[in-house]
Every structure is written in C-alpha cells, then in structure tokens.
Structure 1
Amino acid sequence: MNVIETRDIVKRFGKVDIVKGINLKVEEGEVFGFLGRNGAGKSTFINILTGILRPTSGSFSILGEKVPNEEVKKRIGVLPDYTAFYHHMNAIAHLKYFANISGKKVTTAECLRVLKWVGLGLDANKRVGKYSFGMKKKLGLAQAIIHDPEVLFLDEPTSGLDVESAIEIQQLIIKLKEMGKTIFLTSHNLYEVEKLCNRIGIMKDGKLQKLGTIAELKAYYRSKLIVTMKHSIFPQDQEHTVIQWLNNMSEEIQREDEKTIITLEKEEQIAQIVRAFNQYKINIFRIEVDEPSLEEVFLEG
C-alpha cells in the first residue's frame, strides 16, 4: 500500500517555482529518506505534505485519503526542524496540550509512558524551559507520537545533537520502524540515512533528481569511474583521430595538452584506452582512478 502519494506537486512563490512537479510514492512501513542541499526545496515539500502549505498545483494523498483532510491530520505525527515549546509547561502538560490539538485526549499515565519511552521519564514534571537542546528533541519526538499516528514526518531529527543524543534518537526511530510506522525522514547525516532508511529520494533545484534504495544509488554512481591520465602530447597528425575516439568512449572529458580526465562506465574501458594510446604512440606516465564519495553519491551536483 502506498501511504504517501504525490502527483505533479508544484509550489510557486511569486514567479518562482520552488517545487517543480514531484511525483513520489512511499510504501507502508518504510523509512523514506528525503535528501538535498539547502535551498533544494525539501522543507517546502515537507510543509506541503504536513499541511502547513498548500501546493500551487498537483495533488497528494496520505493513507489513501486525498489531502487536505482533517481526519488524516489526526493520523500523522510531525517533528519539524524547529519545534515550538511552551517553556512554562512541564512535559506532561505539554504533551496533553498538543495531543488535544490533534483531536485526542491523553491521560497522565499515557504521557508518562511516552516520556519514559523517549528517555524523559525522570524529567516529566520539569519545566520545558529547563530542558537541554537534546531533551527538547526527545520531547518533540514524544509530541509527534503521543496520539499514536500511523505516519511520521521527521525533519532533521538529530540536527545539532551530540553523538550520544543522536544515537539515542536513531534507536528510537528504529523502534518506531519495528512498530510498523511509516516514516518520512529528512537528514543531512549520511550515516544516519544509510542506517535507517529503506529508500531515499534526492531533491535538486525543486525536482526529484534520483530515487531508489541506497544500494541502487551507490551502484549507479560507483559504476562511474573518474580516470585522470598524465601522458605525452598527442601526435599532431593524429590528434583529431584520438580526440574523436575518446569522445566515442565518453561524453564527459576534460583535456589539457598532457592531461586527460575522462568519466567511464566500466574498468575494462581503462584497458582499451591504454591499448589505443600505445597504438597511437602516446606514452602514459600515470593513471589515477577515483570513485565518488558517499557525499557525491547522495548529494551530486
């Protein structure tokens, strides 16, 4: 079952399209990672899905229901990147207040159970203004799940946290996944994405640039080898022939007199180039082969 499905979502501010026709399906029970550089349009898109913004055009559904839909809002939980807290309240009062907004009344016992689950059981009666940044992140997660939603939108859930606190939040997300929750996650932490997500989408310039499992995207990018060769100058009478041959090998080539950088699909092509250079009496002095880093795999361009 597709829990989230968008159809040609566009969001325009003034004359500028920030989100440009996104089509996306998120399946029941998966953790879907949504990535992109700052300014790519991620926050705008997640604000559309969570009802903060309305799309300029296109449509989407959550849990099989077309949105906007007040009943659907009661079945989702949201942890925004910047969560607003009422610092004069204690954690229990805070959760009761936000659960009531979601249309569900919760007992003190239910609040204590959720607070204990996120690691705030001993601080349940402490004013939120006394909480550390990490404790507020945990309270934000408790706020998102207090009404037992089926779908969770977590926007940068570990940003700004120390390593220990980030690991604790990640472990909670894994537990939510094991409980069958569908989770839509944005993050700049690539290790976190690899650890938590079933599939990822990469957004660039308002468009969904790539979509697939982490293994699929790694395989796609890592099949591309960036080969740098230092060599002697091409023979003048054969220079045009050599350049044309290289262009047939790859569309991505950078050339200087004694240096060529070429992007290849297969390692076997390196051997083909070596044989061809020998044939044309071009001496190869050095070959360097580079595979893209994880950052390049996920956030290309």
Structure 2
Amino acid sequence: MNVIEATGITKMYGPKTVVDNVNLKVKKGEIYGFLGRNGAGKSTFINIMTGIIQPTSGSFKLLDEPNLNNVKHRIGVLPDYSTFYDSLTAIDHLKYYAKLSGYKASTEHCESVLKRVGLLEHAHKKAGKFSFGMKKKLGIAQAIIHNPELIFLDEPTSGIDAESALHIQQLIVNLQKEGKTVFMTSHNLHEVEKLCTRIAIMKNGRIWNEGTLEELKSRYMSSIHVEIKHSPIPQKEGLFTFLKTAGRDITITETKTSLVVDTEENIPPIIRAFTGHEIDIYRVNVHEPSLEEIFLNDNLDASAP
C-alpha cells in the first residue's frame, strides 16, 4: 500500500516555481529520505502534503485518501520550525496537541512519549525555558503523541547534540518497527544513509534522483575499485594474465592486490582465480560511492548549463 501518492505537484509564487511537477510514491512502513539544498523545495513539498499550503497544480493522496481533512488525525508533523507557548509545560503542550487530533492523552501517556524523545526530566518545565534542542525534541513528541500512522519529520536532528541525535535516530527506527511510515528531510547525509529505506534527491523544485541507496550507488558506479588482502602469491604470472582480462590498473604485491573493474559481476571470477591458485583470501574491500558523493555529483549535474 502506498501511504503517499503525489502526482504533478507544483507550487509557484508569482513567476517563481518552488516545487516543479513532483511525482512521488511512498510505501507503508518505509523511512523515506528527502534530500536537497536549502531552497530546493523540500519544506514546501511537506507543507503541501500536510495542508499548510495549497499546491498551484497537481494532486495527492495520503493513506489512500484524497481528502486530507479525513486523515489529519492519522498524521504527525514536525515542521521546519516549531513554535510553542512559553507559559505551557511540555506535558501541557502534548495534551493540547493530542486534543487537536481528537486524541485524549493521559499524563502517563505524555510522560511515556517524553521519555521516548529524551525529555522526561523536563516534563513539567515551561517551554519558555527550553533550549533550541529541547524544543526540537518537544516538536517530535507532539508529532507522535496521537499515535499517527504517517509521520513527517523536517530536519528531526538539526540543532541537537550528537547523543540526542543518536537517540532520535533510534526512535525513528523504532517507529518503523511499529509499522509506522516516516517521511523525513535531513542535511545529515550519514543519517539518511543509515536510516532510510529509499531516498529522493531534490534540486530546483524537481526530484533529480530517487531509489534505494543500492540503486543510487549502482547508477554512479561506472568503475569499481577492488582491493584484496591475501596470503603470499607463489606464482604471479598466471594470475596476472587472468586479472588483465577481468580489470585494469592492476597492482600486485606479496599480500595485496588492487584493480579496477567495470562491473561487480567481475568480482566473483577474480575471487575464484585466487582460490584456484591456492591463495588464501583474508579480506576484499570494494569502494562504492557514498551518499555524499552521489549528492554532490547530482548538485554538479543540476547546476550544469
């Protein structure tokens, strides 16, 4: 089941197109990462999906429902900014936001949610005394207080310390294990690489690339660098002759061999050639492009004339 289906979503402000004909589907149970530079249109797209602004054109369904008003109570949102009432405590906020979604939250339930985001010790502190990071955690708490099925998180770990970020990342994984779907933006590429089942890269209002991390990597692997650590080679000539048919830029030392291949399908025959020469293999390292390399490469492509 697709919990998000967006078709031709476009948003214009005067002559400026901020979101440009975006088509997107997110399946139930995914952690879907939405990447892009500042100004790429990510937050605008989330604001459209959550009813904060209206698209100029296009349509979408959430939880298989075209009328957002019918499913708002099943959706949680951490916006790109969170504004709280200075005079209300963390628990007061959660009870208030839960009530807006038609959900009556007990004090015990509020405390349970605050514990999940790492704010339990500040449950009765007024939000006016909260730091930026604490407000971010409270924003995540209000997004999940009513037990939503679909959760939009806009930069959930920005502005918080490393330990808290790891805590929130684990929370996101746990939400997925509970059967919830998470749609998140992040500037932390390592975080997206670590958490997300699928990733979209947005540039200039358009989705420039999309897929699983493995799919994205495969599109950028025009050459693969393979490094093999092995036992001493008794006779290099025969092995070297074979390696020349499988790859290029070959370097062989007594206990290490490196070469470049055009496809990963060449790797298994290389391993078999080593074992066929009675050479023990201790380690095989394959360099793949990181999400950072893919993201930077896409940015260069997007800015090209």
Same fold (TM over 0.5): yes
Q: Which amino acid aligns with 1:184?
A: F
Offset at residue 103 of structure 1 (A): 2.2
Structure 1 182/52 Cα, relative in aligned 2: closer, same or farther at 3 Å? same
- The CA deviation string for residues 49-79 of structure 1, in whole angstroms up to 9 with x for no partner, is 1111111111000000003x32211110001
User: Partner of 2:157: helix, strand, or coil?
Assistant: coil
Q: Distance in 2 between matches of 1:224 and 1:6?
A: 35
Offset at residue 135 of structure 1 (A): 2.0
Counterpart in the other structure of 1:201: 200
Q: Which amino acid aligns with 1:12?
A: M
Q: Which amino acid aligns with 2:30?
A: E
Mapping 1:239-278, distance limit 5 Å = 266=262
Offset at residue 224 of structure 1 (A): 5.8
User: Partner of 1:65: helix, strand, or coil?
Assistant: coil
Q: Distance in 2 between matches of 1:189 and 1:102?
A: 30
Offset at residue 298 of structure 1 (A): 2.3
Whether 2:212 is the aligned partner of 1:217: answer no
Counterpart in the other structure of 2:46: 46
Offset at residue 86 of structure 1 (A): 1.0
Offset at residue 159 of structure 1 (A): 0.8
Whether 2:14 is the aligned partner of 1:4: answer no
User: Partner of 1:83: helix, strand, or coil?
Assistant: coil
Counterpart in the other structure of 1:99: 98
Q: Which amino acid aligns with 1:5?
A: E
Counterpart in the other structure of 1:158: 157
Gaps of 5+ in 2: 225-260, 264-286, 300-305
Runs of 4+ in structure 1 deviating by more than 6 angstroms, as ranges, are none
Counterpart in the other structure of 2:274: none
User: Partner of 2:110: helix, strand, or coil?
Assistant: helix
- Please, which moves more after superposition, 107-116 or 46-55? 107-116
Q: Distance in 1 between matches of 2:203 and 2:146?
A: 34
Counterpart in the other structure of 1:190: 189
Structure 1 41/109 Cα, relative in aligned 2: closer, same or farther at 3 Å? same
Structure 1 292/180 Cα, relative in aligned 2: closer, same or farther at 3 Å? closer
Q: Distance in 1 between matches of 2:60 and 2:27?
A: 14
User: Partner of 2:66: helix, strand, or coil?
Assistant: strand
- The CA deviation string for residues 160-184 of structure 1, in whole angstroms up to 9 with x for no partner, is 2221111111111111111111000
Give the root-mean-square deviation of aligned CA atoms.
2.2
Whether 2:173 is the aligned partner of 1:174: answer yes
Counterpart in the other structure of 1:36: 36
Offset at residue 97 of structure 1 (A): 1.0
Counterpart in the other structure of 1:20: 20
Q: Distance in 1 between matches of 2:178 and 2:188?
A: 23
- Please, which moves more after superposition, 117-126 or 151-160? 117-126
Q: Which amino acid aligns with 1:153?
A: F
Q: Distance in 2 between matches of 1:133 and 1:222?
A: 40
User: Partner of 1:222: helix, strand, or coil?
Assistant: coil
Q: Which amino acid aligns with 1:172?
A: L
- The CA deviation string for residues 253-273 of structure 1, in whole angstroms up to 9 with x for no partner, is xxxxxxxxxxxx948xxxxxx
Identity across aligned pairs (percent)?
A: 62
Q: Which amino acid aligns with 1:145?
A: I
Q: Distance in 2 between matches of 1:151 and 1:291?
A: 32
Q: Distance in 1 between matches of 2:29 and 2:222?
A: 30
Q: Which amino acid aligns with 2:60?
A: F
Q: Which amino acid aligns with 1:83?
A: S
Q: Retained in 1: the 8 A contact 2:217–2:289?
A: no
Gaps of 5+ in 1: 226-264, 268-289
Q: Distance in 2 between matches of 1:74 and 1:189?
A: 29
Q: Distance in 2 between matches of 1:43 and 1:211?
A: 17
Q: Distance in 1 between matches of 2:25 and 2:288?
A: 30
Q: Which amino acid aligns with 1:24?
A: L
Q: Distance in 2 between matches of 1:204 and 1:126?
A: 41
Q: Retained in 1: the 8 A contact 2:43–2:80?
A: no
Q: Retained in 2: the 8 A contact 1:224–1:291?
A: no
Q: Which amino acid aligns with 1:64?
A: D
Q: Distance in 1 between matches of 2:92 and 2:182?
A: 26
Offset at residue 121 of structure 1 (A): 1.9
Offset at residue 139 of structure 1 (A): 1.1
Q: Which amino acid aligns with 1:141?
A: I
TM-score, with structure 1 as normaliser: 0.75
